[in-house]
Structure 1
Amino acid sequence: MNNDFDPFAGIEDEIELSPSETRLALFTRAKLGFARVEKIFVQLDNYPAGEDSRGSVLGDLVTGKKERALDLLLTVHALSPILEDSPLPLTTWAQLLSSDKHQWTTRTISTAFRVLQRMSLLELSGPKQQPVVTLMREDGSGDAHQEMKSENGRGFFTIPFEYWTGGDITQLSLPGKAMLLIILKETQDPKGKLTFTMPVSRAQNWYGISERSAERGYFELAQRGLIQQKVQKINDPRHPAGRREVVHRAPMGAYSTAHREWLRDAAREATDVSSRPKEVK
C-alpha cells in the first residue's frame, strides 16, 4: 500500500474572477448576444397635450444623475434569460458592475434596485440578499414587461453584449451612455434611418436631456470611435448664408445597424432551430 497517495493532488482553488471576467462568464451564459429594450425607454410615443417634450425614463435617469440605476436596469434586461430560474445574489451584482474606477457594494446595488422599483421599472421579491427581479415595461407605467415578437420587434432596439464585455458600460460617462442609447434606438431598423442627425438644441424637447449632456455625449462617442460623423451642407433659404450644415452620425463596429441586425437574425435562427421537432431515427 502506497501511503504517499494523495486523492486531492491537483485540486487547487481557482483564481477569483475579476469584474470583467464575471461579466464575460455571465453574458456567455445568456447567449442571446444583445439586450433588447423598448424604444419608449428613450422616447415616449405620446406626451401630454400642450407639452413640447417627448422625454422619457432615460431622460429622467440622466437629469436625476441616476447612472447606477441605469447601469443596473440595462444589465437586468441583458441577463433576463438566465435570471428567471436562478436569481443572482447582491454580491454577484456588485462584482458584475464594478470596475477599477468604481466599486459597487451590496448597499449601492440595493439602493439602485430601490430607485428602479420606485420608478416602476421592476419589482423585487424573495430574499433581500438574492432577490427575484421581475421587469416592468420600460415607460415606467408599471405595466407588465412586453416580450419581443416578430410582429412588434421593431418597437425594440438592441444593445450588443459588447457594451458589457468590452467595458463600455464602465468607461463611458452618463452623457455618453445616454447618447449611445438614443443613437441605437434611432438607427435600429436597417430599412430606416442609418444615421442620426439631431442638433443638440433639440435634445431637451426630443429626449429630455440637456443640450450640454448631448454635446458631451456626442464628443465622447466620437473620441472613443463608437460613432462616425459626416457634415452635409443643405440648401436653406431661411438661413443667412442660404445653406446650413447637418451632422450625420452613425454607430460603428459592434453597435452598427448591420451588426445589430446580424445578431437579431442569428438569434431568430437559433430559436427556430431549437423549436423544431427532433427527427425520430
Structure 2
Amino acid sequence: MHDDNGFEPDEQPASREEIVAAYVRRSKRKKNVAIRKAFVQQGGRGRLARPGPLAKLVRNSDHTALNAYVFARMLGSSDPWDVQLDSGVWVLALNLQDKTPTAAKGLVSKALRRLEDDKLITRSRAGRKSVVYPLHESGNGDPYTEISGEGDDPYLQLPLTYWTHDWHRKLTLPALAMLLIALDGKREFWLPAEDAAKWYGISASTANRGYGELEAHGLLASRYRKVRNDLSADGLDRRLMRRLIGDFAKPAKKPELEKVAAAEGDLPTVPHLRAV
C-alpha cells in the first residue's frame, strides 16, 4: 500500500455549472449564438409568414430537444460544425442529472433522434461519443452553411448568458420559446399573445405563460404605447409594447435611444392584455 503522506489532497469535482461554462468557453464564441430566423418563422413577414420548426417542438412539449438543439448550435462554431460529446455531458447540459444514468442517457438519445427526424441535425458515433452535425435551421434537410448576415439570410442572436447565467436550467419551454421569438423581433415589439399562433405557431396560453415567466425573472418589460389610427374615434390606438431587458436586452441601434431609456427608466410592467 502506498503512503499518501505528503501528497496533495484530492480536488473537488467541477460543478454542473462550471462544466457547462467550460464548454461555452471552448466554443470560442464571444457573446451570442446566431440562429437563422427560419427556425422560428419562415416565408418572410405578412401573409407569407409561417411557423418554423420551433412550433412543433413547443406543441410536443419537447423542452429537452429544444435545449439540445440550441446547445449544439452553440458548440458547433466552425466548419464542419460538428459537436462531439460524451453522453454524460449532454445529461448535465440538459439538466437530466436527477434521473438514473441509464434513464438520462436514454432521454438524451431520444431527444437527439427527434431532432434528427425533424431534419434539424444528423448524427454519427466516434467511439463512446455522439457526433452531432447541424442541418439548415428551416428543417428542410439542407446541409448547414455559415450564416452570411445579408438581408436574405436573417438571423437572431441568443446570448451566451443563456448558459453562463443558468437560464437553460431556469426557463421553462414557454419562456424559452417566447425568448427566441422576442430575439427575432425588433428591440421594442408588439406581439399580442393571440397573434402568436398565427405568426409563430405558438398558442396564446403558451405565449402568455412565457411572457409572464420572462417578466417574473426580470427579463421582459412592457408598456402601453399610443399609435395613430385614422379609423379610431380619437385617432389613436393603444398597443402593449414589450422589450427584453437584463441578460437578453437587445442593444439600441442608435445611441440616442439609450439616452431616452436612461431618462425614462425601465419600462413599467403591465398586465398581459391585448392592446385596444
Query: Which band: TM-score by shorter chain?
Result: 0.7 to 0.9
| Corresponding residue for residue 114 of structure 1 | 113
Alpha-carbon offset, residue 259 of structure 1: 8.4
Asked if residue 258 in structure 1 is aligned to residue 257 in structure 2, the reply is: no
Q: Please give the alpha-carbon distance, in whole angstroms, between the structure 1 residues aligned to 2:54 and 2:180.
A: 9
| Corresponding residue for residue 30 of structure 1 | 27
Alpha-carbon offset, residue 73 of structure 1: 0.2
| Corresponding residue for residue 165 of structure 2 | 166
Q: What are the ranges of 5 or more consecutive residues in structure 2 without an aligned counterpart? A: 255-276
- Residue 126 of structure 1 aligns to a residue in which SS? strand
Picking from 73, 76, 82, the partner of 1:77 is 73
Question: Contact between 1:53 and 1:204, CA under 8 Å: does it hold in 2?
Answer: no
Question: Contact between 2:178 and 2:207, CA under 8 Å: does it hold in 1?
Answer: yes
Question: Contact between 2:162 and 2:168, CA under 8 Å: does it hold in 1?
Answer: yes
| Corresponding residue for residue 67 of structure 1 | 63
| Percent of matched pairs sharing the same residue | 28
| Corresponding residue for residue 269 of structure 2 | none
Q: Please give the alpha-carbon distance, in whole angstroms, between the structure 2 residues aligned to 1:77 and 1:85.
A: 9
| Corresponding residue for residue 54 of structure 2 | 58
Q: Please give the alpha-carbon distance, in whole angstroms, between the structure 1 residues aligned to 2:234 and 2:11.
A: 67
Mapping of residues 180-195 of structure 1, within 5 Å: 180-187=179-186, 194-195=187-188
Q: What are the ranges of 5 or more consecutive residues in structure 1 without an aligned counterpart? A: 188-193, 262-281
Deviations 1:129-162 (A, max 9, x none): 4111110001110001120235469611111110
1:200–1:85: structure 2 CA closer, same or farther, 3 Å change rule? closer
Question: Contact between 2:75 and 2:83, CA under 8 Å: does it hold in 1?
Answer: no
Asked if residue 149 in structure 1 is aligned to residue 142 in structure 2, the reply is: no
1:86–1:137: structure 2 CA closer, same or farther, 3 Å change rule? closer
Deviating more after overlay: 28-37 vs 61-70: 28-37
| Greater strand content | 2
Deviations 1:222-270 (A, max 9, x none): 1111122111123435557764320111111332222899xxxxxxxxx
Question: Contact between 2:149 and 2:155, CA under 8 Å: does it hold in 1?
Answer: no
1:154–1:84: structure 2 CA closer, same or farther, 3 Å change rule? closer
Normalised TM-score (structure 2): 0.79
Q: Please give the alpha-carbon distance, in whole angstroms, between the structure 1 residues aligned to 2:217 and 2:98.
A: 18
> Alpha carbon RMSD of aligned pairs, Å?
3.1
Question: Contact between 2:135 and 2:141, CA under 8 Å: does it hold in 1?
Answer: yes
